[in-house]
Structures are given as C-alpha cells and as structure tokens.
Amino acid sequence: MQIGIVGLGKMGGNISVRLTRHGHDVVAYDRDPAVTAKICGQGEGGRCTPATGLADMVGKLSGRRIIWLMLPAGEVTEQAVQELGGLMGKGDIIIDGGNSFYKDDIRRAAELVKKGIDYVDVGTSGGVWGLERGYCMMYGGTKEATDHIDPILSALAPGIGDIPRTPNRDRPGFDPRAEQGYLHCGPAGSGHFVKMVHNGIEYGIMQAFAEGFDVMKSKNSTDLPEDQRFELNMADIAEVWRRGSVVSSWLLDLSASALAGNPDLSNYKGDVADSGEGRWTIEAAIEEAVPVPVITASLFTRFRSRTGNNFAEKMLSAMRFGFGGHIEGTNN
C-alpha cells in the first residue's frame, strides 16, 4: 500500500522505514528537510519518497489516500488535521498515531465524516525500539476504514513472536489480531482512550519499581542500627529479578540495563516529565467515579520530582529514557 507519514521523529521515522521493509510505499514529510532526506535514505528499495509539505504529500498519493500523523498532541496535530481536511476528499483516511486526547478524536472524526473523510486514532506503543520489535497498537475508527488499513497495521505490529499463547483464546469472541499486537478497540477515540489508560498503568508500574529500588538502596542508611544495614547491589538485584520472578518485565529489563551501566544513576537528575496521558487517565477516572490511587500518586510524584529528587526519580528517568528516549526536562 501507499501511505503518507507526517512527522519523522523517534517513532515516525522508524514507522516509515519499517513500512518500506514490509513492501509498502511511503511519502514522508518532516518540517526539517534534512530529517526527511535522512529517513527517505534509510527506506528500503527506493520505497520512500520525500514531500515538501502536506499539499505536496497529498498530490503524491494516489487512489484512496492515507496519511498517518506522528506529531505531538495538541495544537500541532490539530492544525495538521484541519489542513488535511481541506486537502483530502471522500474515502480518504487520516490516521493520528500520536498521543492525542481521545475526546479530540471523537470531535475530529465527527467533523471529517461530513466531508466523507475517515479518521482513525492509533495509540502506538513501542518507543524507540519499534523499528525492530514492532509496535503494539490500539486503534479506533469505523470497521471499513480500519479493515482497509489492516496491511499497514499488520506490518507495524510485532507479531506473536515467542510469547506463549494465552490459554482459551481459541474460543469464539476473541480478536485474533490481539495476539499479533494490534487491536481494533471500537469507534473513533477508543484507541487513544485505551492507550491513555495503558500509559497511566505504566506510570504506576514504574513508580512501584522506583520506590522499591529506593528502599533497597537506602538500607545502608546511617539512620538504621548498624546490624540492620545492608549494602545491596542494585544492578545484581535487577538482574536476578529478570530471571523468572513475577515482576519480570520490559521495564525491569530497562532498569537492569541502566543500573549495569551506572549503578548510582548519576547520569540522571530525576526530573521526571509527564506527557499528558496520566492526567487524562485520572480525569477519566473522576468522570467515571473509579478510584485510581496508584496512578494518581505516581503522577503527583512526577510533579514533586521537578522540585528536588532522589534515587527513585533517577530510576524513573532511566526507564523513560530506555523505552522512549525521553530526555529529562521535556515531555518528548
């Protein structure tokens, strides 16, 4: 298939290259022409064509035009959707693969359908590792539009890999695409809603790891009786937990890697940003009257980290950098 990709940063660029590796043709655009040229140079088989702007991209796409936005949530994405809404026509598809607020998706879909344009929101997880590992995707939109772009989503998904199959999933009623790492969640907005809650859960898991390691690191505190002090090796503990423990996970893998490289994490300040999904998850929980004390506490800890921090916050920074290349002090 042919698809346009707008925004060639850490994820958008890798999405473009991965699609060319799976035989799809990409028209790529980034506001920095040098980035566009770099990504197109990395595309395989000459399948990546540069565009100079949105109008140029639309002109280079043929048939039922599909454009995937991989831009920061908020005004930048909003402007791009509005501009494309004026350039594209009936049957065309706009995909937002960033982290937009799900209520914005619902509004955009309602506006675009009046012009016959389909809107699909794709919550995309995979960070900087997606080029090789693939992306876990949760998406919303009409069945017709999402079925049409299935070859794109299938190429980006990680596939079943070596993960053991879940018992009883051979029964009717389950979507087989979930095992491949991508899932149609429902109408427009549902994909980003599920991804939003995913990120809220991520906050809580990361916070639990960070606090636990901080407790262990502080076990040699002079505030404790001398016979109760332990000098524990954080890197070795993270490593042994990776091997068969019930808390083994990718986040633990990233923690182990960071600790092995620098056990005191002195290369991190611990100023932990939040990109919005944690806040939105809490807002949704309030609307639904659902208690979410763990996610709420983890978000508030990120706020506090920016006014002074400890080893726990450095652990959070290390994990965020590990999975997403997030730099301290920014939301990206």
Tens digit of each residue's pLDDT (9 = 90 or more) over 213-256:
999 999 999 999 999 999 999 999 999 999 999 999 999 999 99
Question: Which of 244-258, 266-280, 283-297 shows the lowest per-residue confidence on average (mean pLDDT)?
Answer: 266-280
Tens digit of each residue's pLDDT (9 = 90 or more) over 85-97:
999 999 999 999 9
- Percent above pLDDT 70 for the chain: 99
Q: pLDDT category, 163, cuts 50, 70, 90?
A: confident
pTM of this prediction exceeds 0.75: yes
Tens digit of each residue's pLDDT (9 = 90 or more) over 3-47:
999 999 989 999 999 999 999 999 999 999 999 999 999 999 999
Q: pLDDT category, 325, cuts 50, 70, 90?
A: confident
Residues known to be catalytic: 195, 202
Contact 4, 67 (CB under 8 A): yes
| Centroid of chain to Cα 61 | 27
Asked if the model's pLDDT at residue 332 lies above 60, the reply is no
Q: pLDDT category, 330, cuts 50, 70, 90?
A: low
* Distance in angstroms (rounded) separating the CA atoms of residues 181 and 123: 12
What string of DSSP letters covers 92-131?
-EEEE-S---HHHHHHHHHHHHTTT-EEEEEEEE-GGGHH
Instruction: Sort 221 into a burial class: Cβ within 10 Å, 0-12 / 13-18 / 19+.
Output: exposed
> CA geometry: angle at 104 spanning 94 and 178, to 5°?
65
Tens digit of each residue's pLDDT (9 = 90 or more) over 114-158:
999 999 999 999 888 889 999 999 999 999 999 999 999 999 999
Mean of pLDDT values over 260-288: 93
pLDDT at residue number 308: 77
Asked if the model's pLDDT at residue 331 lies above 80, the reply is no
